[in-house]
Amino acid sequence: MLLYPAGFSFASLKSDLSKAMSQDGASQFQEVIRQELELSVKKELEKILTTASSHEFEHTKKDLDGFRKLFHRFLQEKGPSVDWGKIQRPPEDSIQPYEKIKARGLPDNISSVLNKLVVVKLNGGLGTSMGCKGPKSLIGVRNENTFLDLTVQQIEHLNKTYNTDVPLVLMNSFNTDEDTKKILQKYNHCRVKIYTFNQSRYPRINKESLLPVAKDVSYSGENTEAWYPPGHGDIYASFYNSGLLDTFIGEGKEYIFVSNIDNLGATVDLYILNHLMNPPNGKRCEFVMEVTNKTRADVKGGTLTQYEGKLRLVEIAQVPKAHVDEFKSVSKFKIFNTNNLWISLAAVKRLQEQNAIDMEIIVNAKTLDGGLNVIQLETAVGAAIKSFENSLGINVPRSRFLPVKTTSDLLLVMSNLYSLNAGSLTMSEKREFPTVPLVKLGSSFTKVQDYLRRFESIPDMLELDHLTVSGDVTFGKNVSLKGTVIIIANHGDRIDIPPGAVLENKIVSGNLRILDH
């Protein structure tokens, strides 16, 4: 199954053949073309491998072998759609409410349960979408603390509180590995063992010829854009290949808790872990996906369905166009994937060695700086749920999904809506309702540097429902925002919200300058 972004098409031989040939002789002819294309790609990859130094050779070979397998599947499989008629709502017992899991309480031996856990954070992304250089995990999000600082604080707190040895593992990409390793030295004295491994490095392919763009293994100079990390679905193979999987199994670890490092709500949950280790029916789950209720902001999120007798994650890119509105329906598909996942180490090892982890291919089209159109083949970690036995969804509170993708999200987590304790953010008790305000900051706030310059201090947002800011707007110290506040500076105008201002259910537009004198 291939996942294409909306509107995607590529003028490759593959699709041309499908349309141009009649069904009878076409499949045979297509097979010949496919084989020739695979042979051409194999030769190109072999050429690239000859440029690897002796210390690069082994891991480069593993990467290129992994790419070849993915490319082979890409050529074999057809169509972006799932069979919509086979999609069913999951059975009641396959998605458990968190409250039911929590109601079981915790055993006296919770420390020994915790010692079976490894925390894995997906740390392959850069901060470019927020105007920052280097790994996104090194952006300051709260009181000078970065995503990585908060993660280390959370796990250190666990280890100190329960006298345990829960390690932290970072899945880096070639984009983030070097900078991350430099920073890790500062945690040497923390009570957390930190390990890293790299996800694979795959070659981007020319959209027309479907051949790799890279000519050698380097990823600097002309080759900077020739390589990419192939999505977080690569975790299974990379974790296995790194040797860490076997190391942890040898140490008696049994589960990994995997989440995005920019999801500040993804903390270790003792109730879920206890449910995994001590299941009420005696049958352990190999894979648990945390889901949460959709709001109108989440209609594009992947959802759990029943498909051919198994739990399956369905993403919007898989949905036939005629059914997209139905997929987005909050009433029919009520939940979405948070990408907080609990996975059995033994099951990963078994499935990896059987080559039995099945994930849909995501076809991601890009245009390089020089104008060359390329595609990159990716997979997503949650899509593997259908390959595991006895999988389960747990419908968790929204507080476990607190991603920081934009400066609008950053404003929320920096504000007094949340309090920080041992690396964990919790909604302030002073907020009267549990929902998070809807915040939309305009393009003048996109980059973290610009965003910080526009706020002398973060406003009081305890009573805020909705904030929209557009244009050249700045905020003085100790501003308070309540209800619905919309501030729009038209092109050429500037609005300075004065220090100490209280805006409640206000629309501010036009031009408002505060001059020092």
Instruction: Return the amino acid letter for 172.
Output: N
Length reported for the chain: 517
Buried b / exposed e over 295-312, threshold 16 CB at 10 Å, is eeebbebbbbbebeeebb
**Residue 231 among known ligand-binding residues:** yes
Is 232 marked as a binding-site residue? yes
Burial tier of 99 (Cβ tally within 10 Å: 0-12, 13-18, 19+):
exposed
CA atoms within 13 A on the CB side of 206: 15
Cα–Cα separations (whole angstroms), residue 141 to 179, 322, 403, 404, 427: 18, 41, 11, 9, 16
Name 2's bridge partners: 361
| 128, two tokens | 């470019």
CB 244, CB 169: distance < 8 Å: yes
DSSP for 281-323, written as a single string:
TS---SEEEEEEE--GGGTTS-EEEEETTEEEEE-GGGS-GGG
Assess contact for 456 and 296: CB atoms under 8 A. Answer: no
Annotated binding residue 262: yes
Q: What number of helices (H) and strands (E) belong to the chain?
A: 14, 27
181 is in an annotated binding site: no
Q: Nearest 5°: CA angle at 23, between 21 and 25?
A: 75
Calpha distance 277→152 (Å, rounded): 24
Distance, in Å, from the CA atom of 40 to the CA atom of 42, rounded to the nearest integer, reads 5
Cα–Cα distance for residue pair 461/418, rounded to 1 Å: 10
- Ligand-binding annotation for 252, yes or no, is no
Helix (H) / strand (E) containing 396: none
Distance CA 477, CA 456 (A): 5
Taking the alpha carbons at both ends of the chain, their separation in whole angstroms is 66
Name every residue whose Cβ is closer than 8 Å to that of residue 110 and which is 6 or more positions away in sequence: 162, 270, 274
Query: For 274, which DSSP code?
Result: H
Q: Which string of DSSP letters, residue by residue, matches 191-250?
A: S--EEEEEPP-EE-EETTT--BS-SSS--SGGGGGGEE---GGGHHHHHHHHTHHHHHHH
Whole-number Å distance between alpha carbons of 168 and 193: 6
Query: Do 202 and 225 contact (CB within 8 A), yes or no?
Result: no
Choice among 14, 193, 215, 405 that is catalytic: 405
CA atoms within 13 A on the CB side of 432: 5
Q: Is 405 a catalytic residue?
A: yes
Going by the annotation, the residues of the binding site for substrate are: 232
Going by the annotation, the residues of the binding site for UTP are: 136, 199, 231, 262, 405
Residue numbers annotated as active site: 405
